[in-house]
Amino acid sequence: MSREPENLVLRALRDIRADVAETKTELKSEMRSLRAYVASDILTVNAKIDATRKELSDQIMGLRRAVVDYHSVVIGHGVLISEPEARLRRVEQHLNLAAGDAH
């Protein structure tokens, strides 16, 4: 049997096919690795977001308490300033003092 000369184009196509198959395997491996990194990063970012959200929530609660306390103090002082005569009468009555004796 005679042997035909090797076809250069056919040989080049076979080499390309082998290279593509090897590259495809490498890409699949890299994609799996990349997927794992991305999943890990997403979990880390979610944990940081949850921690930040909790911290902000705590700060907002603290601010609300401070505003309510401040508001209560301001309202309380406002009553003291706006109604001194009525408060003085109540204190006098509570201590059983006559209105003239307190002065």
Please name the residue ranges forming H helices in the chain: 8-82, 84-94
The three-point CA angle 62-64-65 to 5° equals: 65
| pTM, 2 dp | 0.47
Residue 55 and residue 53: Cα distance in Å, rounded? Answer: 5
pLDDT digits 0-9 by tens, 32-61: 999 999 999 999 999 999 999 999 989 999
pLDDT category of residue 17 using cuts at 50, 70 and 90: very high
* Structure tokens given for 5: 């000369």
